[in-house]
Amino acid sequence: MTFPLRIGRVLGDRPFAEVGEPVLAVADDRRGLLAVAGAHGGHLVPLGRAPVGVYDVDDLGRRALVRSHYPVTAMAFHPDLPLLAIGTGCYDGGYFFMGELLLTDLETGRAVSLIDSPLGPQVLALEWLTGQDLRVLVAPPHDGDDAEAWVEGHVAVVSRPDWRLVPPASITWQELAGPRVAAPRPDHREEARRAVSGLSRDWDPRRNVRAVEELSDGRILATLDEVRAESWLPSGQRQWTVADDKGGRDLVVATDERSVWVGLVRPTCEEPPQALVRLSLQDGAQIEHITLSAPASLVCRADGLPALAPAGDLGERGRLRIRRGSRVYFREIDRPGVETTDGSLVYAGTVHHGQGLQPGGSFVVRREIRTGEPRWVFRTDRTATDLDADAQTAYVAYDDGEIVALDLQDGTVRRRRHLTVAAVQAIPTALTVVGPDALLIGTSDGRILKCSAELPADPDVTGT
């Protein structure tokens, strides 16, 4: 059963908001359109989401929005039909170059994957030669015993009489096995930034809100990519922002609300591995800096004071982010949780599998701390990005955009729905309960939403 999630305020909204950080932009001057591909979702969206938005250059209205499993590497508008070809892909880190060729109908917004293999190949370049012929440059299947695979590719021309009628998975590997040619991998990010900046001075490359908190005076704090922390006034104006190479991660507001502790994002391979900073809530000025000897989670204890939970040998993956804990928790997982008023623990996790997340492999559990016994377990197929709870309900955000409200007593589903902003699905990456049925939600595209959940008064209402 869905529930009305009413959005009262949207902070961080701006033109091209849906794509976040642009990495590629392609114009269709005849139609007055601009296609903009955003950066891949990264670790906050574990299965990955690379958005592609198509906008009218006159009013910046969005015409279409699709999300790719792989990073976007090439785009080309059809010369006659309302179609956009999108090439995607990346190296898997060990052997294969994988990707997709997507074809998006700009009238319906529907995108289909055209290559008949779920694992490739990586598409490097696209060009419409005619209304029937598409030139496709793809990477070699792998780099095993092939040092030139990183600078060369295979070029082929794929022909179809009417591309509007092309079914999914209908382009074969044989059609793409053309001659070997030079295939540079240029970086288009600066060109993409210039393209969107030229259309709007209000554009801002925000993405991946990691933490959100509300102060008693109505100000809202957030951490996100390349921002240690920022503060928004109740009027909707940004009060201050502090830039950072990587960005902030965890937030703990001092009990007197004069300062905030921020845990910074740092790869475990860097030295020092992590740091904490304390910022003034008046202007964001740095008050204190602490270098940690090992990775840790910054968490808020039940008494409101900050605490550090060691992350163990797994670094970023070993973080257990438990809010309002009366003790410091340590467990080899990287999923969110909260301690309830009776001292039990509600947290999310996944079951490891060599082939990735399996059906039912994601869970939320309420566990007794003394005995370790679970009171209830809720299972699903998607990875949780954040979790918080009030006295009756645990709210869980997932990487496919769904928000699920679970009854805190027995784990049954009270309500669930996918998050949408201006009729477009958004991916929640941070969630905080700030009052009865009141939520702050941060998104992968850098927006912050003040929402009213409006759950039913009867806690026994369930849904599917």
**How much of the chain is helix, strand and coil, in % rounded to 5?**
10, 50, 45
How far is Cα 243 from Cα 204, in angstroms, rounded to an integer? 13
How far is Cα 270 from Cα 274, in angstroms, rounded to an integer? 8
- Are 362 and 353 contacting, i.e. CB atoms less than 8 angstroms apart? no
Q: Which of 21, 15, 60 shows the shortest CA–CA distance to 41?
A: 21
Cα distances from 61 to residues 9, 32, 53, 57, 88, in angstroms, run: 20, 11, 10, 8, 24
Q: Which of 429, 378, 379, 423 shows the shortest CA–CA distance to 399?
A: 429
- How many Å separate Cα 260 from the centre of its chain? 24
How far is Cα 74 from Cα 24, in angstroms, rounded to an integer? 8
Give ranges for CATH 2.130.10.10 in the chain.
Answer: 17-199, 209-452
Tell me the residue length of the chain. 464
Q: Which of 64, 71, 59 shows the shortest CA–CA distance to 15?
A: 59
How far is Cα 84 from Cα 101, in angstroms, rounded to an integer? 11
Each residue's pLDDT expressed in tens, for the chain with a length of 464 residues: 666 788 989 999 999 998 888 999 999 999 999 999 998 765 444 445 789 999 999 999 999 999 898 999 999 999 999 999 999 999 887 888 999 999 999 999 999 999 998 777 999 999 999 999 999 999 998 888 888 999 999 999 999 999 999 999 999 989 999 999 999 999 999 999 999 999 998 888 888 999 999 999 999 999 999 999 999 999 999 999 999 988 998 999 999 999 999 998 876 555 556 789 999 999 999 999 998 887 777 888 878 888 887 765 544 444 567 788 776 666 544 578 888 888 888 999 888 666 667 788 889 999 988 888 999 999 998 889 999 999 899 999 998 899 999 999 999 999 999 999 888 888 999 999 999 889 999 998 899 999 998 766 654 433 33
Q: Which helix (H) or strand (E) holds 195?
A: helix 189-199
How far is Cα 398 from Cα 443, in angstroms, rounded to an integer? 11
Architecture of domain 17-199: 7 Propeller (2.130)
CATH 2.130.10.10 fits 209-452, yes or no: yes
